[in-house]
Structure 1
């Protein structure tokens, strides 16, 4: 589900575009639609080659959590996608899921974009189990939607 016509776009970034950024994208789009917010999310990965254990279109933990939340994800079942300079340029807002992990990748692979990126602090499965990380993403997404919905 890519952004539509006049909607603004938030780009969620993680390393493999398999788990965290995909969850953020789908949860954001669900709640933004419910709220009537003129924003849509897409997600991409900064280093897909590092996801050697990523099998299939999306992490099973992400799919299970979305199912448990009652959020449809069938339309999002695609293979992970690498971020391009065009994705970065088109985004109205860029959010990377973990600063310590993603700032160096952005700096190395997409110079100049780290300074334009908002960083969250959600650990990957090497430091936090999905039962901890996925609710953190949901809370951060809901706070982001609240802020985007406020008058400027």
Structure 2
């Protein structure tokens, strides 16, 4: 059994999109568990509901329907989440490496860091497209 954990800042957009997409790509693979969590979940952030509407729309465009009414609310990563995971991916190295160093320093070298910025920070390109490419590459890697 392989346990994949996606991390982002608030567990609202990037990690949730990545989790849902990988889970969809791996339908029928009972040997894979996919989860997500946030490194700095802030209930006062202004995020509405369990998942960003942009993530839900992007998933829907890809034929993945999620009922936002049954999605869990964003959750803060805990040490036990890291301990359970076989593969941990933080989606934005520049933002998340310092958070990992601060909160979970012993885990920094065991986390794979991507370079996908948040919405509004997309100077490097569309985060949805970047996440989709990264997740598909990961799926290919896990399928070998």
- Number of residue pairs aligned between Structure 1 and Structure 2: 142
Match of 1:32?
A: 26
**Alpha-carbon distance in structure 1 between the residues aligned to 2:42 and 2:86:** 27
Q: Name structure 2 gaps, 5 residues minimum.
A: none
Correspondent of 2:139 among 137, 141, 145: 145
Which residues of 2 match residues 90-129 of structure 1 at below 5 A?
90-128=84-122
**Alpha-carbon distance in structure 2 between the residues aligned to 1:57 and 1:18:** 7
CA apart distance, 1:125: 1.4
**Alpha-carbon distance in structure 2 between the residues aligned to 1:109 and 1:50:** 18
Deviates more, 1:118-127 or 1:43-52: 43-52
Q: Name structure 1 gaps, 5 residues minimum.
A: 1-6
CA apart distance, 1:39: 1.6
> If the length of structure 2 is used for normalisation, what is the TM-score?
0.91
**Alpha-carbon distance in structure 2 between the residues aligned to 1:37 and 1:31:** 12
Runs of 4+ with >3 A deviation: none
Which residues of 2 match residues 55-134 of structure 1 at below 5 A?
55-74=48-67, 77-128=71-122, 132-134=126-128
**Alpha-carbon distance in structure 1 between the residues aligned to 2:30 and 2:133:** 17
